[in-house]
Amino acid sequence: MSTMLVKNARLLMTMNDGGETIADGALFVRGNVVEWVGKTAVIPPQYQTADRVIDATDKVVLPGLVNTHHHLYQTLTRAMAPNSSLFPWLQTLYPIWARMDGEAVYVSALVGMAELILSGCTTASDHLYLFPNGAKLDDEIRAAQEIGLRFHASRGSMSLGESDGGLPPDSVVESEEAILQDCRRVIETFHDPNPLAMTRVVVAPCSPFSVTPDLMRESARLARAYGVTLHTHLAETKD
């Protein structure tokens, strides 16, 4: 398991319950676990060498930021339909997203994750709720594993298309049976319940106006049965 030592930090922000800061701070990491934090001058002997040593002189060290809601598949279309309110924006973009495939979702996620990491974010929760042309939540999980981001992958869903009074076109909605079946698949395949997990799966019906009440209830039951988080959009706009 790889190790890393960061030392000589002008200030190390612990973000612990007491808000402690450490001048001339240092920390030792093994794998994805911070094993020791303290002053550089008193680094224990067993932590004085590492596979990678970073001299943080004149720098501030703080824990990675956490992004609690993202739509990484939208990275490739971020410049489209500017200055639109939510519903017209969605109606403009849905036909474009409907032409994406698994590779496009993977590349879009990879670019978005790289930007997050370059901004100091090391954990992200992403809400992927459409799966055109064979795209799967697996595509984003692959990107997170390759780039090293701690990832909460939210298996979103939309079951109400335009023909049923919903907002999204029928081409990007799924049957409720297929949605619940795939939620079970990704949880059983990828979800890691351990406290230091790098990958977790979230059940995430898109919104009250894009799924039926039955699907919202069944999603909640499924999440409770598997012990995973339930996530959705709620009251996101005055419309």
pLDDT (tens digit per residue) in 167-184: 889 999 999 999 999 999
102 CB-near residues (< 8 Å, 6+ apart): 133, 134, 135, 136, 138, 139
Burial 160-176 (b: 16+ CB within 10 A, else e): bbeeeebbbbeebbbeb
Checking if the pLDDT of 239 tops 80, the result is: no
Q: What pLDDT does 215 receive?
A: 98
pLDDT in tens, 95-127: 999 999 999 999 999 999 999 999 999 999 999
Whole-prediction pTM value? 0.91
208 close to 234: Cβ distance less than 8 angstroms: yes
Mean pLDDT (the chain) is 96
Q: If you average pLDDT over residues 57-64, what whole number do you get?
A: 97
- Joined together, the tokens standing for residue 63 give 């824990």
Q: How many Cβ atoms are within 10 Å of 119's Cβ, its own excluded?
A: 9
Evaluate if residue 72 carries a pLDDT over 80.
yes
The per-residue pLDDT for range 212-232, each reduced to its tens digit, is 999 999 999 999 999 999 999
User: What's the pLDDT at 165?
Assistant: 87
The domain ranges of the chain are 3-61, 65-226
- In the structure encoding, which two tokens stand for residue 150, read together? 């701690």
Nearest CA among 62, 72, 40, 66 for reference residue 53: 40
- What is the pLDDT at residue 166? 86
Q: What separation, in Å, do the N-terminal and C-terminal C-alpha atoms of the chain show?
A: 51
Report, at the CATH architecture level, how domain 65-226 is classified.
Alpha-Beta Barrel (3.20)
- With bands split at pLDDT 50, 70 and 90, how would you rate the model's confidence at 62? very high
pLDDT at res. 167? 86
Better pLDDT: 216 or 235: 216
Question: What is the reported pLDDT for 238?
Answer: 78
List CB contacts of 96: < 8 A, sequence separation 6 or more. 77, 80
Would you state the structure tokens that stand for residue 165, as one six-digit string? 């009074």
CATH number of the structural domain 3-61: 2.30.40.10
Q: What integer pLDDT is reported at residue 236 of this predicted model?
A: 82
